[in-house]
Structure 1
Amino acid sequence: MQKTSMPLRERNRLDTWALIHNAASLMACEQGMAKTTVEAIADAAGISKRTFFNYFPTKEDAIMGLQQPTLSEETLAAFRMESSEDLFGRTVRLMLTVIRSMFPAESRSDRRKILKAKYPELSKRIFDHLRDSEELVEAVLLERYPDPAQELALPGSLPGKDSALALLMMAGTVIRFAFSKDSGAATNEQSTAIDEAIEIFREAIKATL
């Protein structure tokens, strides 16, 4: 199947995003956080401060190569579609897809790893975005409960909202477990860490019931 070419406007947006991120991450690696200001990043990238804030809300996001997590209609449709995989596995994969949307292909994972080790405080922005990712997935799980005053769900859903929230927490735990085994699984679609983690948790749950 022939791939659909990316619209020129989107390609230009990604190129500018990558330009700013590259300048910010390189500056932070070479000069440190204190000297890596929004003004300095903008100058290095050859853009205005206004343009910087059109792409990144903070200098930390620019340095780490992060963007706000998103949930596409295509991803939603895949989650809602009947498949051979159970809701547990589908929820883990849904959350993983949302998390991966935080890291565009142009994001420099090599520098991010160095910067996280050198400046642990940068991890806070990752955690902030991870929380936003969980909220997106939570909204999807809870959409089957149309009446806020009731615990009754539409057919084919978990028996109550608390069960849906428990599933959300389990999915997050599975992903953290997978990332502890393979830190690159966050961005590497070829990694088997998520598949292996899902199976480990399935077996662990079965063995303790």
Structure 2
Amino acid sequence: MQKTTTVPLRERNRLETWALIHDKASGLALEEGMAKTTVEAIADASGISKRTFFNYFPTKEDAVLGTQQPTLPDEAVADFRAHGGEDLFGRTVRLMVAVIRSMFPEASLAERRKELKGKYPELSRTMIAHVTAAEGLVESILVERYEQEDPQFAEAGLPGGRDGAKALLMLAGTAMRFAFNRDPSAVSAGDTQSVDESIEIFREAIKATL
């Protein structure tokens, strides 16, 4: 029998308010333009105060895009540390994807975000800042595993410390972007098929060039 997860009322209210603010902010941006989509205008359209707005979003750009600061999901970190029979490269790509996905809550409107980024290229700065933060989080885990003498680091022949972590991080980031270019929903959605295929393609490409 499947177990039903009940979301506490307070958390449900928080998620609904987050979704409302994002919906109003993104709608205003498309209809009125970014210049007129001020925090005040978003708050008024959402029926909340400016103070409440900042309890949910640090900037108007985040409210428009439906993004939040990336985090290290506990389950993803545990999977990375557990090895699970997968090589270090695959584990790193999956950890990076999980951290990037944490930027987009379930109520984030992916199609609208795509439209907004096309109309207002300056919004890419917010995305780049979050991706940079996500890379920093993954790098911290890689350095930790190297310092704890994870045997897979030695087997992979990676250079020590931060240089090895950065090299692996850049390779994983490239594979992740490759997956996204093949399927734009691959990173923000829960389906792993495109990510799995991209990891395998990169494994074969690496083998073929060594």
Give the alignment's TM-score, normalised by structure 1.
Answer: 0.92
**1:155 CA drift (Å):** 4.2
1:88-167 equivalent positions in 2, closer than 5 A = 88-146=89-147, 154-159=149-154, 160-161=160-161, 162-167=163-168
Letter in 2 for 1:90: R
CA distance in 1, matches of 2:209, 2:202: 11
1:66-85 equivalent positions in 2, closer than 5 A = 66-85=67-86
Contact 2:72–2:137 (CA<8 Å) still a contact in 1?
Answer: yes
CA distance in 2, matches of 1:89, 1:107: 27
Contact 2:83–2:91 (CA<8 Å) still a contact in 1?
Answer: no
After TM superposition, what 4+ stretches of structure 1 lie above 4 angstroms from structure 2? none
Letter in 2 for 1:180: N
- Aligned match of 2:157: none
Residues 115 and 41 of structure 1: CA distance in aligned 2, closer, same or farther (over 3 Å): same
**1:191 CA drift (Å):** 5.1
Which sections of structure 1, spanning at least 5 residues, go unmatched?
A: 147-152
**1:84 CA drift (Å):** 1.7
Q: Which moved more, 1:137-146 or 1:25-34?
A: 137-146
Secondary structure of the equivalent of 1:144? helix
Figure out how many residues of one structure are paired with residues of the other and give that number.
203
**1:192 CA drift (Å):** 2.2
Contact 2:186–2:192 (CA<8 Å) still a contact in 1?
Answer: yes
Contact 2:146–2:153 (CA<8 Å) still a contact in 1?
Answer: no
Secondary structure of the equivalent of 2:169? helix
Residues 68 and 85 of structure 1: CA distance in aligned 2, closer, same or farther (over 3 Å): same
Which sections of structure 2, spanning at least 5 residues, go unmatched?
A: 155-159
Q: Which moved more, 1:2-11 or 1:87-96?
A: 2-11
Letter in 2 for 1:30: E
RMSD of equivalent CA atoms: 1.3
CA distance in 1, matches of 2:183, 2:73: 26
- Aligned match of 1:46: 47
Contact 1:96–1:186 (CA<8 Å) still a contact in 2?
Answer: yes
Give the alignment's TM-score, normalised by structure 2.
Answer: 0.92
**1:86 CA drift (Å):** 0.9
